[in-house]
């Protein structure tokens, strides 16, 4: 079975030979690990066993994998200034200084070169591997970059029309660029925002349904019109369990990253409640277990995630976020070995 077939079958909630893998690493970790595998950092994730590749475009693609030295800065085409802080690029200056769009211009989604990376990945990988295009941060979280997180959250209460204007501009951009990507023949399109925190949503669910859901719904409908078979994946870090029914209702088939916090801390319950309606990706704790646990702790964590989410199909293996620079090499090995050992169907974990 080819990796692409395995990946798509899992999303269709089917058991195959093994659980597909989609480990993701920050650039600094890929640079450290790639020589061990004898490959270029850009090839490392495939070499270590992934069944799909991911291409990021839009505001997230511009900042999350760009290698910026500690303390160094750069400004993206969105007008956001980023600084390298503890191995990750953080927004430190925002183009929307007040709750007005004014003369702000969103980037042009129709630039021909925006499809270059997707076309290259399709040519190199698609015969064997699933290709996912990532549009996140898509709407609300993208507003954090343009306005600042605290400001944009406050605007959601004090300047609702401004927030909807920003989200409308973002949704127009991502709808157009997303449809262009779908026309290239990709398998999965990822949308979403980090609207979850440790104990729930960053805002009341009804506020999310008012400000964000209508635009996501419009985008998904447009994507499905372009290709009815496109798989839509919704991403949020944190506990977004209260809106899982909403994203399923909009046509999402795959959700992640199942960060084990809040209501998502019980993966068995989540699988029981939603496993007949949607597939899952993620779930291994990257906040404490992966960086601070022992290799045996990591193995036990992997076993728990696989037992909960993978039984019966409907699961793609991934930690709950990137493997970051704070994760010891021995814990990365423990994770990879445990997934290989316990991720075969039928799942049989005591």
For 18-34, the pLDDT digits (tens) are 999 999 998 889 999 99
Low-confidence ranges of the chain (pLDDT < 50): none
Its pTM stands at 0.96
Domain 3-68+98-342 belongs in CATH node 2.60.40.790: no
DSSP alpha helix (H) spans, the chain: 3-11, 27-37, 44-47, 59-63, 116-125, 140-147, 149-158, 160-183, 205-211, 213-226, 244-249, 267-274, 289-292, 295-305, 329-342
Measure CA 154 to chain center: 25
DSSP bridge partners of 55: 133
Domain spans, the chain: 3-68+98-342
Is 256 strand, coil or helix? strand
d(CA 66, CA 48) in angstroms, rounded, equals 21
The pLDDT of residue 63 is 76
The pLDDT of residue 65 is 65
Nearest residue to 253 (alpha-carbon basis) of 88, 48, 8, 89: 8
């Amino acid at each position: 079975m080819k990796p692409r077939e395995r990946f798509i079958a899992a999303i269709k909630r089917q058991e195959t030979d093994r659980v597909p893998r989609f480990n993701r690493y920050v650039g600094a970790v890929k640079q450290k690990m790639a020589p061990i595998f004898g490959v270029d950092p850009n090839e490392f994730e495939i070499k270590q066993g992934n069944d799909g590749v991911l291409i990021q475009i839009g505001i997230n693609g511009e900042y999350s994998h760009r290698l910026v030295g500690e303390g160094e800065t750069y400004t993206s085409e969105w007008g956001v200034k980023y600084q390298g802080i503890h191995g990750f690029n953080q927004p430190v200056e925002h183009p929307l200084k007040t709750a007005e769009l004014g003369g702000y211009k969103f980037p042009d989604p129709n630039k021909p070169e925006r499809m270059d990376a997707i076309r290259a990945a399709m040519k190199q990988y698609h015969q064997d591997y699933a290709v996912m295009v990532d549009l996140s941060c898509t709407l609300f979280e993208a507003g954090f970059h343009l306005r600042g997180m605290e400001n944009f959250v406050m605007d959601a209460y004090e300047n609702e029309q401004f927030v909807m204007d920003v989200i409308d501009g973002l949704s127009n951009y991502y709808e157009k660029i997303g449809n262009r990507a779908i026309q290239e023949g990709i398998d999965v399109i990822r949308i979403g925002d980090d609207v979850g925190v440790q104990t729930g949503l960053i805002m009341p669910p009804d506020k999310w349904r008012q400000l964000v859901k209508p635009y996501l719904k419009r985008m998904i409908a447009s994507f499905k019109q372009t290709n009815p078979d496109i798989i839509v994946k919704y991403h949020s870090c944190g506990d977004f369990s209260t809106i899982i029914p909403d994203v399923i209702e909009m046509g999402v088939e795959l959700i992640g990253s199942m960060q084990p916090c809040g209501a998502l801390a019980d993966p068995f319950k989540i699988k029981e409640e939603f496993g007949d309606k949607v597939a899952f990706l993620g779930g291994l704790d990257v906040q404490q277990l992966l960086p601070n646990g022992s290799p045996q702790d990591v193995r036990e964590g992997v076993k728990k995630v696989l037992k909960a989410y993978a039984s019966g199909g409907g699961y793609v293996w991934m930690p709950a976020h990137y493997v970051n620079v704070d994760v010891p090499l021995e814990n990365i090995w423990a994770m990879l070995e445990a997934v290989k050992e316990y991720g075969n169907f039928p799942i049989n974990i005591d």
